Amino acid sequence: QTLIENKDEL
Amino acid sequence: MNIFRLTGDLSHLLAILILLWKIWKTRSCSGISGRSQILFATVYTARYLDLFTNFVSVYNSVMKIIFIAAAFATLYLIYVKFKATYDRNHDTFRIEFLLAPCALLALILNHEFTILEVLWTFSIYLESVAILPQLFLVSKTGEAETITSHYLFALGSYRALYLLNWIYRYYFEGFFDLIAIVAGIVQTVLYCDFFYLYITRVIKGRALKLPA
């Protein structure tokens, strides 16, 4: 899952 | 967080600070593309709207705020404070030719059709090509100040380091994000020509002048 709530990268 | 990701972030931060420092110290933004900086400010604004909706970590939030603030501070220096030194005659790349295709692509190719997700995707696509006005400016004038080439090297290295981070995360965490990876490859490839000149000239203490 790479949706917005899982995005930790900048 | 792995070493590639951390050095990538630090390289990104360094690039932004080098640029601000260069403009402030020399009281001049000559050789800097205001149009690329408009695109970067757009990138950070579109990508980091999740500051308001989603908390990841203090590190994450602080870096996002620094990137956004530095981008707008850079724009202020170029278009207001040191406007007289801005190279507007050479900075002529048509940014709508980048903005429109990236917006269209983000609407079509995204992970989920929601406002934040489409804006995030747009920012990823736009970031991959946002340096083109700057590279265009350098090619038009045929040279770059050494400090400007350090800026470009740090900024280009950041996404290259993120590529290593994604290889690492794929092997050790099973994580991959195809949109970010493909855009990251495009972004890094755009710098290759510059990397070559940087290594063969600037590192050896010579000015970055393009071959005639």
Question: Does A1 have pLDDT greater than 60?
Answer: no
Longest CA–CA separation in chain A, Å: 16
In angstroms, the separation between the Cα of residue B73 and the nearest Cα of chain A is 19
Q: Taking CA atoms, what residue in A is nearest to B65?
A: A10
Ramachandran region of residue B205, left (φ > 0), alpha (ψ -120 to 50) or beta? left
Chain B CB contacts of A10 under 8 Å are 9, 12, 60, 63-64, 67
Between CA B60 and CA B100 the distance in angstroms is 29
Phi/psi of residue B83, nearest 5 degrees: -50, -40
How far is residue B34 CA from its own chain's centroid? 13
Contact yes or no for A10 and B116 at CB 8 A: no
What pLDDT sits at residue A2? 59
Question: Tens digit of pLDDT per residue, chain B (212 long)?
Answer: 899 999 999 999 999 999 999 999 999 999 999 999 999 999 999 999 999 999 999 999 999 999 999 999 999 999 999 999 999 999 999 999 999 999 999 999 999 999 999 999 999 999 999 999 999 999 999 999 999 999 999 999 999 999 999 999 999 999 989 999 999 999 999 999 999 999 998 888 888 888 76
Between CA B100 and CA B122 the distance in angstroms is 10
What pLDDT sits at residue B157? 98
Q: Say whether residue B200 is in contact with chain A using an 8 A CB cutoff.
A: no
Q: Say whether residue B51 is in contact with chain A using an 8 A CB cutoff.
A: no
Q: Say whether residue B159 is in contact with chain A using an 8 A CB cutoff.
A: no
What is the SS3 assignment for B208?
Answer: strand
Contact present, B13 and B47 (Cβ < 8 Å): no
Non-local (6+) Cβ contacts of B135 within 8 A are B190, B194
What pLDDT sits at residue B113? 95
What pLDDT sits at residue B25? 96
ipTM attached to this prediction: 0.83
Contact yes or no for A2 and B177 at CB 8 A: yes
Between CA B147 and CA B121 the distance in angstroms is 31
What pLDDT sits at residue A5? 65
Structure token digits, residue B7: 């050095």
Count of residues making up chain B: 212
What pLDDT sits at residue B114? 95
* Side chain identity, residue B89: N
Contact yes or no for B56 and A8 at CB 8 A: yes
Chain A CB contacts of B54 under 8 Å are 4-5, 7
